[in-house]
Amino acid sequence: MRIHREGTKIILISSMFLLASLILLVELSMPFWLVLLLGIPLLVFYILILRFFRNPYRKLSFENGQVLAPCDGKVVVIEEVEEGEYFKDKRIQLSIFMSPLNVHVNRNPISGLVTYFKYHPGKYLVAWHPKSSTENERTTTVLKSESGQEVLFRQIAGAVARRIRWYIKENDRVEAGSEMGFIKFGSRVDVLLPLGAQIKVNLEEKVSGAKSVLAQLEK
């Protein structure tokens, strides 16, 4: 299992803690059943941490104009909204909720130029709260394709997720499906599309980052 670089430090610390705990349990000469009782939950917790920071290889396959899912998770919002930060007009918003069990790598939904990027400090409302898109800690990124279409997406921190990472900046050229960031311990990503985009997913549908197609942009 390939591990994401964001997990290196916490996995190292967790490994040392797990090893020290198991050694202590053995050194205390506890009954075998008690060692199992205390050791198994520690091992399960360690495995969950490893799974959280997994970074599976994703083979890209998409056509021009397609918008890929920027993360793994479940589609929880598909609605028309007024986007007030960059476009200042109506857009279609798709929101994907990431549970702690999902892969938490964030990816670029289209290929193109980063025309806008901004980090916003903010609150830590639960990720499904309607105001989390505008009031929580978040980043806003706008990508412009070669055909001139622009797609905006946001990494949004939640009540538990308070570690947003990003690896891009304005004027970078990026490829669809390439890594752009990471959100630790669950949250959501919003994607805002032109009104003419053809939506290819449904509410409550589970999607995979860089694999699932969210929408087709007008040509």
What does the block give as tokens for 27?
Answer: 């050194």
pLDDT in tens, 107-140: 999 999 999 999 998 776 665 556 666 667 899 9
Question: In angstroms, rounded to a whole number, what is the distance separating the alpha carbons of residues 27 and 35?
Answer: 10
pTM: 0.85
Position 10 scores a pLDDT of 85
Residue 137 token pair: 């800690």
Q: How far is CA 110 from the centre of its chain?
A: 15
**Separation CA 178–CA 122 (nearest Å):** 27
- The tokens describing 218, both together, are 């007008």
CA angle (112 as vertex; 178, 82 as ends), nearest 5: 100
Q: What is the rounded average pLDDT of the residues 82-103?
A: 93
DSSP type of residue 115: E
Given 147, 187, 208, 212, the catalytic residue: 187
Q: What token pair was written down for 31?
A: 């009954």
Question: For residue 29, what are its two tokens?
Answer: 């000469």
Q: Which CATH superfamily is domain 66-216 in?
A: Glucose Permease (Domain IIA) (2.70.70.10)
The token pair at 189 is 């990503």
Nearest to 180 by CA among 140, 145, 126: 140
Q: What is the percent of the chain where pLDDT is above 90? A: 51
Is 111 catalytic? The answer is: no
Q: From CA 192, how far away is CA 213, in angstroms rounded?
A: 14
How confident is the model at residue 206, as a pLDDT?
97
What are the structural domain ranges in the chain? 5-52, 66-216
How far apart CA 139 and CA 92 sit, in angstroms, is: 18
